[in-house]
Amino acid sequence: MQRAEGIAVVGIFLGQVLLARGVHAQARQVLRACRAAASVIGAATIVARADELMETIDDETEES
């Protein structure tokens, strides 16, 4: 697996786990990297899913 492929595939799962745990800032960071990598390799499904997940993150949420 190439680097961009790994970042895209692992990132989409890690982003979901972080969201489920309520770690929104880290989830956003992972999903942005995931989306960028998915875009490079042409993985439109992962790009779309990353976008969907990022839309669920409340910009006002502050983490402790």
Q: What is the pLDDT along the chain (64 residues), one digit of tens a residue?
A: 679 999 999 999 999 999 999 999 999 999 999 999 999 999 999 999 999 999 999 765 545 4
The rounded distance, in Å, linking the Cα atoms of 6 and 20 is: 21
Write down the pLDDT at residue 64: 44
**Distance from C-alpha of 7 to C-alpha of 59, rounded to nearest angstrom:** 24
pLDDT for position 61 = 53
CA distance 27 to 17: 8
d(CA 53, CA 57): 7
Q: How far apart are CA 37 and CA 11, in angstroms?
A: 9
